[in-house]
Amino acid sequence: MLVNLTDMFSQHGNYAIAAFNVFGYEDAVSVIRAAEEVNEPVILMVNRDAARHMPLDILGPILTTLAKQAKVPVDVHLDHSVDLESIAKAVDAGFTSVMFDGSQLSFEENVDKTLKTIALARPKNISVEAEIGSVAYSDPSIQAKMIYTEPEEALRFYQATQVDCLAVSVGTVHRMVVQEAKLQFDRLEKLKNTVEVPLVIHGSTGVPDADLTKLSRYGARKINIGTCLRMAFGRTLRKCMEENPEEFDRIKLFQEPMKAVQQAAKQKIQLLKY
Ligand code: G3H
Ligand code: ZN
């Protein structure tokens, strides 16, 4: 069933919900199958690369249709939007939550654009995520500083916006295969105790399994995972093509990569339940 993030949080236990970046039908359906296997809710996220590949007005209906047919709650989320135009497009395309990423803006500008996002989304029952502090990228072509989130600043931001959930920076870095930074669990716990809003962790692919469970236990309610599923799909596809050099039918070639995505997603979902 298709739900928004706010309802998903209120109906869910205290552990984190897995949010996966998806790029089309194949990985989206595999993620939903994984969630159904373990009977847990799941979040399908569309980032800028995905929206460039398949526009939001096409991808939105595909994902929301899959979500409506799912046996578990599924939220369809616009990830890391830095402009209000794409937020408006996602609102029109039926997404059930959106993220305005003002992490590279000043505090005031971040508040201002987050409020504008809320004005577009909330009348349509669409939940809003914002970010305070900044989660960096391992990819040098993406400019984002690493700024740990200060609990007092997070509280001021929440008081100014009343956003539905808040991404915070506690040491993760986007697109890492193995995380180099040391995660600050004490900071996460302090954030949880200071701000009464569901907290979101980005850049979780490189987080070791035990730490992923710990992030959930220390108060994260949504954990974003992207690169890991792209690796599962891409690496399995490469292996299948090497093993079947004469095969050209994509439906056949996609079978094993889809199973690999389902398996990887299932493993991450289970790790969040502590
Ligand atoms: O917003 C998306 C996530 O933060 C994905 O990060 O690719 O490092 O898992 P990741
Ligand atoms: Zn992210």
CB of 224 within 6 A of ligand 1: the answer is yes
Q: Taking 90 as the threshold, does the pLDDT of residue 217 lie above it?
A: yes
Q: Tell me the catalytic residues.
A: 79
The answer on pLDDT for 181 being more than 80 is no
Measured in Å, residue 246 CA sits from the centre of ligand 1 at 35
Ligand 2 center to residue 133 CA distance, Å? Answer: 12
- Domain of 124, CATH number, reads 3.20.20.70
3-state SS string over 97-120?
Answer: EEEECCCCCCHHHHHHHHHHHHHH
Calculate mean pLDDT across residues 110-135: 98
Question: Domain containing 249: what range?
Answer: 5-271
Strand partners, 17: 222
Q: Chain centroid to CA 173: how far?
A: 14
Annotated binding site: 80, 101, 131, 174, 202
Q: What is the pTM of this model?
A: 0.97
Q: What is the mean pLDDT of residues 11-32?
A: 96
Kindly give, in sequence order, each residue whose CB lies less than 8 Å from that of residue 258, ignoring residues fewer than 6 positions away: 26, 27, 29, 30, 233
- 92, 126 Cβ separation under 8 angstroms: no
pLDDT at residue 180 tops 80? no
The pLDDT assigned to 176 comes to 86
Ligand 1 pocket member 46 (CB < 6 A): no
ipTM surpassing 0.95: yes
Ligand 2 mean position to 20 CA, how many Å? 10
How far is residue 32's CA from residue 17's CA, in Å, rounded to a whole number? Answer: 13
Predicted confidence band of residue 177 (pLDDT cuts 50, 70, 90): confident
Q: Are the beta carbons of 260 and 234 closer than 8 angstroms?
A: no
Write the pLDDT tens digit of every residue in 257-269.
999 999 999 999 9
Average predicted confidence (pLDDT) for the chain: 96
For atom 6 of ligand 1, the residue with the nearest CA is 203
Over the stretch 98-117, which tens digit does the pLDDT of each residue have? 999 999 999 999 999 999 99
Q: State pLDDT tens for residues 71-89.
A: 999 999 999 999 999 999 9
Look at the chain and report how many structural domains it folds into: 1
CA-wise closest residue to 45 among 174, 177, 209, 196: 174
Q: Does the Cβ of 225 fall within 6 Å of ligand 1?
A: yes
* Ligand 1 pocket test, candidate residues 21, 98, 230, 271, most atoms within 8 A of CB: 21
